[in-house]
Structure 1
Amino acid sequence: MNEHRDASGRLTFDFDEIPSGKYSKVTKAIVSEFSMEVAGVKTRGLDEVFQDFKKGNEVVGLEWDNWSGYIVNAKVKSAEPLVREIAGYIRAKFNS
């Protein structure tokens, strides 16, 4: 797990050991565990997939690309605590 700020200054965690084939499984588990709702359409490319989700006013990106693996980022500053919780959940449930 890597914690950093992306080029837009958003808090981001990436898990390079999670392959693309697990994107849906991990995302569904997160959405269920944190009672989140879809906040945008899913975009899928050759080397990436991403979609935004929300809990209240907090918007979080759940993404995967072939450079970083599974990615969680705070789309708004107020979502940073939620992003930290989600990262801990992923580390506990999906990292070996």
Structure 2
Amino acid sequence: MSEHRDASDRLTFDFNSIQSRCYQEVTKAIVVEFGLEPAGGKVRGLDEVFQDFKRDNEVVSLEWDSWSGYIVNAKTKSAEPLVREIAGYVSTKFNS
């Protein structure tokens, strides 16, 4: 797990050991565990997939790309504590 801020100063956690084939499983588990709702459609490219989710005014992006692996990103400042919780969950449940 790698914690950093992206170019837009958003808190981001990367899990480079999580493969693309696990995106759906990991994302579904996070959505259920944290009571998230979709905040837009899923976008799928050749080397990436991502979708925004929300809980109240907290917006997070759950992503995968070939450079970073699985990514949890705080799209709003208010989502930073939630992103930290999600990162801990992913680290415990899926990061091997």
Shorter chain as denominator, the TM-score bin is over 0.9
Q: SS of the counterpart of 2:35?
A: coil
Residue in structure 2 matched with residue 70 of structure 1 by the alignment: 70
Q: 2-side partners of 1:68 and 1:81: how far apart?
A: 21
Deviation string, structure 1 residues 29-88 (Cα, Å, up to 9, x no partner): 000000000001100000000000001110000000000000000000000000000000
Residue in structure 1 matched with residue 60 of structure 2 by the alignment: 60
Residue in structure 1 matched with residue 87 of structure 2 by the alignment: 87
Corresponding letter in the other structure for 2:5 = R
Residue in structure 2 matched with residue 17 of structure 1 by the alignment: 17
Q: Give the structure-1-normalised TM-score.
A: 0.99
| RMSD, aligned CA | 0.4
Q: CA deviation at 1:95?
A: 1.3
For these two proteins, the number of residue pairs brought into alignment is 96
Sequence identity of aligned pairs in percent? 76
| Unmatched 5+ stretches in structure 1 | none
Residue in structure 1 matched with residue 44 of structure 2 by the alignment: 44
| Unmatched 5+ stretches in structure 2 | none
Q: SS of the counterpart of 2:88?
A: helix
Q: 2-side partners of 1:37 and 1:8: how far apart?
A: 23
Corresponding letter in the other structure for 2:49 = V
Corresponding letter in the other structure for 2:33 = E
Q: Give the structure-2-normalised TM-score.
A: 0.99
Q: SS of the counterpart of 2:18?
A: coil
Q: CA deviation at 1:94?
A: 0.4
Q: 2-side partners of 1:59 and 1:76: how far apart?
A: 6
